[in-house]
Amino acid sequence: MSALNQPHFQDADKARQYLERIQWPNGPICPHCGSVSEDHYRLAGKAHRAGLMKCKDCRQQFSVTVHTVFERSKIKLNVWLQAVFLLCSSKKGMSAHQLHRVLGVTYKTAWFMAHRIREAFRDAMPGVMGGGGGPVEVDETYYGKAKGARVRRFRYGPKVSGTGGMHLRKIVSLVDRQGATRSFHIASIDAKNLKPILQAHIAKQAKVYTDTAGHYKRMGLAKEYAAHETVNHSIGEYARPGGIHSNTVESYFGLLKRGLYGTYHHVSEAHLQRYLQEFDFRHTHRTAAGVNDTERAIKALSQIRGKRLTYRRINGQQAAQID
Ligand SMILES: [Zn+2]
């Protein structure tokens, strides 16, 4: 049976029940007053929208999609769940063109849905990385093409260095081998930009593994963290005894590049951070960490609240109700 044949992908009511079980494991939560109770009223019948509830305490109405990325959408909830599953299970992402064809929605709607789902991929309360004293690998990469230069595919090739990198988009990624992956689109790769990111996200008790780039030395990481170990790629060193390497973040970059170039083709500067959220989410909850496609989708569905994204906020232009 295809994964998408399951009832919650085929039927809007089943989809709502599925989402309610994920969002409300201890009973429906009124988003207006916070009351949690199995005794909130279900407003059934033709006069009401499907899934409408009435709070037994504050008497206001709500449904499971209020204050979520699915709010006020005309797209059926089971189609939304399909889109979430497809984006969660496709290692290199899925383009809006592909979503449009698979889901049977317009291209514009598919594009908008994917961006809302990327908001759900953002962890609103990220904990500190390497808190258990384990290694956090840090590395940077470049995306796009240098002005006036031929397109570099970067498949597994060397990083662009020197002035060639100046017009490229710069990305730094932090990979906790036991946990999260987080990436940041930054203006330039230097100690001044990198240090606040590392300080905000990496626990003092973590070991930090990087290459031998000068900006990591200038940050004084050995004093800030339990350890700072490096591998010297320029002399062909890729791993040292004791598991000292940055191969996890390097292989993550391989996946990220294959997705950004192969699936998404043209990611504008304005949207890059959202695409990074998408790849970070899948890598944080990766198969190698014991998370399967269904569990990854459930995790995304647990993060849909408080993140409703409007068209205005996405592209900075006029607001439009497109779905
Ligand atoms: Zn209430």
Q: How far is the CA of 41 from the centre of ligand 1 (A)?
A: 11
Q: How far is the CA of 130 from the centre of ligand 1 (A)?
A: 39
Q: How far is the CA of 59 from the centre of ligand 1 (A)?
A: 6
Q: How far is the CA of 8 from the centre of ligand 1 (A)?
A: 27
Q: How far is the CA of 117 from the centre of ligand 1 (A)?
A: 27
- Residue 269's pLDDT band, with cuts at 50, 70 and 90, is confident
Chain length of the chain: 323
**Sheet hosting strand 207-211, strand order edge to edge:** 181-186, 169-176, 135-143, 207-211, 227-231
Q: How far is the CA of 106 from the centre of ligand 1 (A)?
A: 36
Angstrom distance (rounded) from CA 49 to CA 185: 41
53 strand-pairing partners: 42, 62
Q: Is the pLDDT of residue 319 over 50?
A: no
* Token output for 6: 């399951």
Q: Is the pLDDT of residue 309 over 60?
A: no
Q: How far is the CA of 241 from the centre of ligand 1 (A)?
A: 58
Q: What's the pLDDT tens digit per position in 134-178? A: 899 999 999 986 444 444 445 554 444 444 455 789 999 999 998
Q: How far is the CA of 66 from the centre of ligand 1 (A)?
A: 13
Q: How far is the CA of 176 from the centre of ligand 1 (A)?
A: 40
Percent of residues, the chain, with pLDDT higher than 90: 75
Tell me which residue has tokens 């998370």: 291
Q: Report pLDDT for 315.
A: 54
DSSP state of 275: H
84-88, 198-202, 235-239, 293-297: least confident range: 235-239
Q: How far is the CA of 57 from the centre of ligand 1 (A)?
A: 5
Nearest by Cα to 223 from 236, 212, 208, 233: 208
- Residue 318's pLDDT band, with cuts at 50, 70 and 90, is very low
Angstrom distance (rounded) from CA 250 to CA 40: 50
What are the φ/ψ torsions at residue 172 (nearest 5 degrees)?
Answer: -115, 135
Q: How far is the CA of 67 from the centre of ligand 1 (A)?
A: 14
Q: Kindly calculate the radius of gyration of the chain based on its CA atoms and give it in whole angstroms.
A: 22
DSSP state of 287: G
Q: How far is the CA of 7 from the centre of ligand 1 (A)?
A: 30
Q: How far is the CA of 308 from the centre of ligand 1 (A)?
A: 20
Nearest by Cα to 55 from 81, 13, 24, 80: 24
Q: Report pLDDT for 145.
A: 67
Q: Report pLDDT for 320.
A: 38
Mean pLDDT of 32-57: 93
55 strand-pairing partners: none
Q: What's the pLDDT tens digit per position in 215-248? A: 999 999 999 999 999 999 888 888 899 899 999 9
Host H or E run for residue 56: none
Q: Report pLDDT for 312.
A: 52
Q: How far is the CA of 64 from the centre of ligand 1 (A)?
A: 13
Answer yes or no: are the C-beta atoms of 319 and 311 closer than 8 Å.
Answer: yes
Angstrom distance (rounded) from CA 17 to CA 14: 5
* pTM of the predicted structure, to 2 decimals: 0.89
State the average pLDDT for the chain. Answer: 89
User: 126 or 164: which carries more pLDDT confidence?
Assistant: 126
Answer yes or no: are the C-beta atoms of 287 and 88 closer than 8 Å.
Answer: no
Q: Report pLDDT for 45.
A: 84
Mean pLDDT of 38-50: 90
Angstrom distance (rounded) from CA 176 to CA 248: 9
Q: Report pLDDT for 165.
A: 53
Tell me which residue has tokens 């900006």: 215
| Beta-sheet pairing, 53-54 with 61-62 | antiparallel
Q: Is the pLDDT of residue 307 over 80?
A: no
